[in-house]
């Protein structure tokens, strides 16, 4: 659906040039929700702005449905853009226009008839759940409501793709949840492909099918959300995953515990998280599991849990127990002293 | 008291009325032309800024310098300095017609500056959102840029209009008439202080009324 091929972009500022994007390639499939996560300055914002060419890449191609947008004439590009919806962190609504006008005006300017415009505004305001706010001005709305209007405005053009530029970053946790639910609904019911960027792992966790992690203008890791969560490879990815699972175990305690056994972290996925694997271990083997820390997260499709446990017993017996756990589709990882000293352990 | 007022009005009523009409004529017509020239110039100043939609450093700097140069010349000097130009445009350099040209030359660059600062207040994100929706630039200029800054535009135009009233007082020097001219000719040159007081009071009422009307309209148009 969307393919970014070798996108590079640099900006020349007062302090010389900055390479915001270095040869970034990624592809978003039709109907999926694709997330790009990274810290600020990672280049993710530039990346999403390259998709609809708000930012012109220095090199590379932006291919949408087989058409390279970078090669289009200004007129054709406008046409293509009207099929790409975009929502922003700052909502970007007209302050001087009512909710109705905010959605209707762009439709009118793209040449839709008055009647069709009215129908669409009503339809999409209903979808975002703001049908009673037709005549309100943005200043009378809450942040979440403003974002809903912005979403309705984007949807009213009936796009195939929705780009979300940190759409939930300015919202409180509850509102974020509600907006994420709305995005999921749009994706499922209207079949709109969503490409979003965020710095919040819970956004990825909640709604994304696939995810790319960016750092210093490069994609450092990419894959299915589940895989990124269970087996993050890059340090930055691990840090992001740990923002959801922060198991803090003091170094001293860890050293003590390692003398009498083994500290391991167990990751349970989907079905495995429902089995009493740990109980079985203590029955079958001569080990004493002690739970140090645990948490569970709901991914888009499945649940994903993590436990940090201490297994007390003979090393041979512990090895056998761990082998059994692996057989039960539990991911087992040894816990070591964390070098970064923030004592977050994965 | 009443007899005194009647006497005054009998003597000066016609002159005052005619002068007021002349002031309105000069200000109204010059304002209309100044907006027609100044607003697009303001839009150009904003759009051609380096880094903006039509970023063009050369054009921006030339326009910028041009506006500054005209704005540096005091009106009284401008009035005489461009006499040949005035004659070329309207065929005469005296009367209401002759004074409108210098008033426009004086006010349009001022309005351009005021419009520039009003338009710069518009959030860049909103413009971008419209660009992302595939809206044509000229539509964005009118329906987003100007619409969103309309409250500041009204305030700017109020300031410009009041400046214009002040400048029009000097129109008497080329026979343009108006309230300022009346005050100068009779009040100052012929020591008819009553006339001067009355015209000054009329001008105060005019300026106060304009400013309040402008403030009120701007507040009504502002929705945030």
Could you give all domains of chain B from N- to C-terminal order, each with its CATH number? 2-223 (1.10.3720.10)
Share of chain B above pLDDT 90, in %: 51
Q: Is the pLDDT of residue A307 over 70?
A: yes
Structure-model confidence comparison of residues A282 and B141, the more confident one: B141
B43 pLDDT higher than 90 = yes
CA neighbor of B103 nearest in space, from B23, B208, B196: B23
> Which one of A54, A95, A153 has the shortest CB-CB distance to B131?
A54
Alpha-carbon distances, residue B116 vs B52, B84, B124 (angstroms): 13, 30, 14
- Reported as a pLDDT band with limits 50, 70 and 90, residue A145 is very high
Inter-chain Cβ pairs, chain A and chain B, closer than 8 A: 70
Is B139's CB within 8 Å of A109's CB?
A: yes
Chain A nearest-CA residue for B123: A92
The nearest CA of chain B is from the CA of A145 a distance in Å of: 15
Note whether A52 contacts B: Cβ–Cβ < 8 A.
yes
Whether A309 has a pLDDT exceeding 50, the answer reads: yes
Average pLDDT, stretch A40-69? 92
Which single residue is written with the structure tokens 């696939």? A210
In this predicted structure, the answer to whether residue B178 has a pLDDT above a threshold of 50 is yes
Can you give the pLDDT at residue A231? 81
Query: Cα separation of A235 and B108, whole Å?
Result: 60
Instruction: Check whether A338 has a pLDDT greater than 60.
Output: no
A330, exposed or middle or buried, with CB in 10 Å at 0-12, 13-18, 19+? buried
Q: What is the ipTM of this complex?
A: 0.83
Element of type H or E holding A294 = strand A288-298
Tell me how many degrees the CA angle B103-B174-B115 measures, rounded to the nearest 5: 5
The shortest C-alpha distance from A174 to chain B (Å) reads 25
Cβ(A334)–Cβ(A273) below 8 Å: no
Between CA A215 and CA A44 the distance in angstroms is 9
For the whole model, what pTM was predicted?
Answer: 0.84
Which residues pair with residue A211 across a beta bridge? A35, A223
Residue B36 CB neighbours (<10 A): 13
Angle at the Cα of B191 (from B190 to B193), degrees rounded to 5?
130
| Closest to A293 (Cα-Cα) out of A253, A233, A238 | A253
Average of pLDDT values for A154-180? 94
Q: Is the pLDDT of residue A51 over 90?
A: yes
Q: How far is A219 from chain B (nearest CA, A)?
A: 24
Interface of A with B in 121-140 (CB under 8 A): 137-139
**DSSP labels, chain B:** -HHHHHHHHHHHHHHHHHHHHHHHHHHHHHHHHHHHHHHHHHHHHHHTSTTSTT--HHHHHHHHHHHHHHHHS-HHHHHHHTHHHHHHHHS-SSHHHHHHHHHHHHHHHHHHHHHHHHHHTS-HHHHHHHHHTT--HHHHIIIIIIHHTHHHHHHHHHHHHHHHHHHHGGGGGGT--SHHHHIIIIIIIS--HHHHHHHHHHHHHHHHHHHHHHHHHHHHH---
Q: What is the pLDDT of residues B95-117, one digit of tens each?
A: 888 888 999 999 999 999 999 99
Look at residue A274 in the predicted model and tell me its pLDDT. Answer: 55
Percent of chain A beyond pLDDT 70? 95
Asked if B123's CB is within 8 angstroms of A106's CB, the reply is no
Helix locations, chain A, DSSP H: 44-51, 74-81, 99-109, 114-127, 143-155, 173-189, 201-207, 225-230, 235-242, 251-260, 277-284, 315-327
**When comparing pLDDT for A245 and B129, which is higher?**
B129
Taking Cα atoms as reference points, which of A223, A296, A234 lies closest to residue A266? A296
Residue that wins the pLDDT comparison between B29 and A346:
B29
CA distance A184 to A171: 17
- Asked if A109 and B131 come within 8 Å (Cβ–Cβ), the reply is no
Q: Domains of chain A by range and CATH?
A: 2-231 (3.40.50.300), 247-334 (3.30.70.260)
- Which structure tokens are listed for B92? 């005469």
Q: Answer for the pair A287, A317: CB distance below 8 angstroms, yes or no.
A: yes
* pLDDT of A336: 59
Query: Which of B129, B133, B223 lies at the smallest CB-CB distance from A95?
Result: B223
Q: Do B134 and A86 touch (CB under 8 A)?
A: no
> Does the structure show a pLDDT above 70 at A342?
no
> What's the rounded mean pLDDT across residues A146-174?
94
Quickly list H helices, A190-314.
201-207, 225-230, 235-242, 251-260, 277-284
Better-predicted residue by pLDDT, B67 or A253: B67
- Distance (Å, rounded) from C-alpha A64 to C-alpha A52? 10
- What's the token pair of residue B210? 């304009």
Q: Is A135 helix (H, G, I), strand (E, B) or coil?
A: coil
pLDDT band at A345 (very low <50, low <70, confident <90, very high): very low
Please say if the pLDDT value at position A272 is more than 70: no
Q: What local confidence, expressed as pLDDT, does residue A275 receive?
A: 63
Residue with more model confidence, A53 or B171: A53
Residue A175 contacts B where some CB pair is shorter than 8 Å = no
Buried b vs exposed e over B68-100: b needs ≥16 C-beta within 10 Å? eebeeeebeebbeebbeebeebeeebeebbbbb
Q: What is the mean pLDDT of chain B?
A: 88
φ/ψ (deg, to 5) at A272: -60, -30
- Inspect the interface and report whether the beta carbons of B148 and A81 lie closer than 8 Å: no
* Alpha-carbon span A145 to A140, nearest angstrom: 9
Determine the Cα–Cα distance for residues A249 and A292; give it in Å rounded to an integer: 8
Task: Look at B147 and A97 and tell me if their CB atoms are within 8 Å.
Answer: yes
Region B167-183 average pLDDT: 79
Average pLDDT, chain A: 87
pLDDT of amino acid A344: 47
C-beta neighbour count of A219 within 10 angstroms: 22
Cα atoms in the 13 Å half-sphere on the side-chain side of B46: 23
Of A82, A92, A153, the CB nearest to B134: A82
Of all residues in chain B, what percent carry a pLDDT higher than 70? 99
Distances (CA, A) of A336 to A250, A306, A339, B159: 11, 16, 9, 71
């Amino acid at each position: 659906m969307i393919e970014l091929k070798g996108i590079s972009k640099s900006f020349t500022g007062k302090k010389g040039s900055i390479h915001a994007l270095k040869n970034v390639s990624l592809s978003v499939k039709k109907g999926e929700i694709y997330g790009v996560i990274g810290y600020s300055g990672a280049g993710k914002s530039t990346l999403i702005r390259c998709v609809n060419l708000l930012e012109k890449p220095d090199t590379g191609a932006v291919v949408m449905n087989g058409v390279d947008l970078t090669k289009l004439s200004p007129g054709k590009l406008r046409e293509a853009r009207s099929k790409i919806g975009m929502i922003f962190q700052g909502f970007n609504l007209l302050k001087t226009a009512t909710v109705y006008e905010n959605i209707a005006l762009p439709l009118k300017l793209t040449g839709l008839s008055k009647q069709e415009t009215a129908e669409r505004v009503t339809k999409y305001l209903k979808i975002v759940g703001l049908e009673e706010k037709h005549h309100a001005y943005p200043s009378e709305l809450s942040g979440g409501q403003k974002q809903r209007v912005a979403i309705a405005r984007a949807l009213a053009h009936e796009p195939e793709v929705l780009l979300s530029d940190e759409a939930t970053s300015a919202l409180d946790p509850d509102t974020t949840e509600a907006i994420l639910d709305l995005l999921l609904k749009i994706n499922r019911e209207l079949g709109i492909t969503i490409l979003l960027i965020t710095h919040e792992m819970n956004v990825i966790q909640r709604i994304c099918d696939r995810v790319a992690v960016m750092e210093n203008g490069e994609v450092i890791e990419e894959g299915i959300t589940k895989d990124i969560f269970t087996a993050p490879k890059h340090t930055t990815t691990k840090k992001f995953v740990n923002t959801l699972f922060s198991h803090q175990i003091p170094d001293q305690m860890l050293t003590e515990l390692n003398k009498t056994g083994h500290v391991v972290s167990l990751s349970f996925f989907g079905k495995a998280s429902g089995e009493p694997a740990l109980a079985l271990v203590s029955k079958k083997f001569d080990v004493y599991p002690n739970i140090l820390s645990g948490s569970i997260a709901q991914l888009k499709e499945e649940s994903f849990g993590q436990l940090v446990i201490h297994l007390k017993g003979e090393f041979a017996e512990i090895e056998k127990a761990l082998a059994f756990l692996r057989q039960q589709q539990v991911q087992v990882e040894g816990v070591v002293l964390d070098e970064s000293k923030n004592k977050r352990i994965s | 008291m009443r007899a005194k007022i009647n006497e005054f009005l009998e003597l000066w009523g016609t002159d005052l009325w005619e002068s007021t009409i002349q002031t309105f004529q000069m200000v109204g017509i010059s304002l209309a032309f100044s907006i027609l020239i100044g607003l697009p110039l303001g839009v150009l100043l904003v759009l051609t800024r380096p880094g903006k939609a039509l970023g063009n450093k050369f054009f921006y700097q030339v326009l910028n310098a041009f506006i500054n140069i005209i704005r540096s010349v005091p009106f009284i000097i401008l009035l005489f300095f461009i006499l040949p130009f005035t004659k070329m445009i309207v065929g005469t350099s005296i009367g209401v017609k002759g004074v409108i040209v210098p008033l426009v030359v004086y006010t349009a660059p001022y309005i351009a500056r005021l419009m520039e600062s009003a338009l710069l207040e518009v959030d860049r994100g909103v413009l971008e959102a419209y660009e992302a929706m595939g809206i044509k630039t000229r539509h964005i200029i009118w329906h987003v840029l100007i619409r969103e800054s309309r409250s500041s535009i009204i305030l700017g135009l109020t300031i410009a209009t009041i400046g214009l009233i002040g400048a029009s007082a000097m129109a008497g020097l080329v026979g343009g008439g108006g309230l300022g001219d009346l005050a100068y000719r009779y009040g100052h040159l012929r020591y008819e202080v009553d006339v001067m007081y009355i015209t000054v009071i009329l001008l105060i009422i005019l300026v106060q009324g304009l400013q309040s009307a402008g403030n009120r309209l701007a507040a009504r148009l502002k929705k945030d």
